[in-house]
Structure 1
Amino acid sequence: MLKQITSRIGSLIAGSALAAAALITTAAPATAGTNGQQMAISTRYSDVVKMCGNNQNGVRVCTGWISTPNYWTKIYGWWWKGEVEFWGIQYDAPGGYETHRYSYCNVPASQADDWTWCDEAGNL
């Protein structure tokens, strides 16, 4: 009887240790919008865009050219704060010409959501 109780206590301790180890090694979830934002930009006229600005660490970075098939384009995996510049290219502009566009958006370092929506329809 004592052996069964000791065995069960040992199993409980081992199980608790595994659960505690899993909690310790799991990364804490990010708090929404506390150190930079992801961006969504209106891209009515541009077929591709490129963005440059400061990331969440205060380092100036640029994306590569990103395809913009929709009226709104979410730029996943990039976190921005401060002024972010955009360059857009429209390949099928009237007259068959390639049109280059430019705009910018100010991104708050903190807000309630992870996304900043920049309405650049007239520019991009």
Structure 2
Amino acid sequence: MNFFKRAARAAAALALSVAGVIALGGTAHAGSSGQQLMVVDNKNTATSVKVIGLDQNGNSAQGCFNTPDFKNAISGWWWQGNVTVVAYNGQNCTGGDNWSGSTNVPASRPGGDWWAIVTGDNSPAATQQIEFFDNQGIAYSMYVEGTNQANQWVGHCVATPGWDSLDSNWWWRGEVHITTYPTSDCSGSSNGYYVRYVNGSGSGAYWFGVTD
């Protein structure tokens, strides 16, 4: 799997505590369809999340998962179709919700079986490096341009051969433009264009998650 190849150095940091799990119609588990979820908390406000949707067999399922880190892998639970995520201030889905959203998780996707859910963008507060999650499985490089830590408009090409790719040592703030390519060097016709807002309030103000 591309994700594990690219992110092996961070595997130890992907700790996830699971509590208060409730399943309706059968707990989701590894199967022939669906994706596991990675909750990427740019806002740095979610202590736990409730996930509601369908498992790989089309059965209704929901679970509560503690999310102490910037990246939180909900492994062993497989989802497809419309999935709703509700974030809470406290552990075990207590303390009131602070954000929610829905995403359409495909039954299968090119290059792996993980799907990133990234919290929303905010107004810029500080500079961060970008971590790119290729949910569509189509980006082998991306051209990133925007304002750097010196308030200069700059851009460069980054190879993105896996699902989880790091734009290391380039620091951004505010509006960032990302153009993806099916080649490894940003050549040829692009296959995606995205505008994101790096907010600088994430985990230690080091990384900001972006997905296509």
Q: Compute the TM-score of the two structures, normalised by the length of structure 2.
A: 0.37
CA shift digits 1:59-118 (9 cap, x unpaired): 110013x11111111101100011110111124xxxxx8553211121111112110111
Report if the CA contact (8 A) 1:45-1:121 is conserved: no
- What's the C-alpha RMSD, in Å, of the aligned pairs? 2.5
* Large movers: runs of 4+ above 4 Å: none
- In 2 relative to 1, CA 89–37 (structure 1 residues): closer, same or farther, beyond 3 Å? same
SS at match of 1:69: coil
Instruction: Name the count of aligned residue pairs.
Output: 86
Which structure's residues are more often helix, by fraction? 1
Correspondence 1:115 to 2:124: no
Gap change, CA 1:78 and 1:119, over 3 Å in 2: same
Alignment identity in percent? 32
Residue 45 (structure 1) aligned with residue 45 (structure 2): yes
The secondary structure found in structure 2 opposite 1:88 is: strand
Under a length normalisation based on structure 1, what TM-score does the superposition of the two structures give?
0.60
Asked which structure has the greater CA Rg, the reply is 1
- Cα distance change, pair 98–109 in 1 and its aligned pair in 2 (3 A): closer
Which whole-Å CA distance do the structure 1 matches of 2:121 and 2:85 have between them?
13
For 2:84 and 2:35, how far apart are their aligned partners in 1? Answer: 14
SS in 1 for 2:86: strand
Partner of 2:67: 68
* Structure 2 segments unaligned to the other structure (5+ residues): 1-30, 123-212
Matches within 5 A, 1:31-110: 35-43=33-41, 44-64=44-64, 66-91=65-90, 98-110=96-108
Q: Which runs of 5+ in 1 are unaligned?
A: 1-32, 92-96
* Higher share of residues assigned strand: 2
Greater relative contact order (Cα < 8 A, sep 6+): 1
Closer, same or farther in 2 for the Cα pair 1:47/1:108, shift >3 Å? Answer: same
CA offset digits 1:28-58 (Å, max 9, x no partner)? xxxxx95101010112211111101010000
Decide whether the 8 Å contact of 1:50 with 1:63 is kept in 2.
Answer: yes
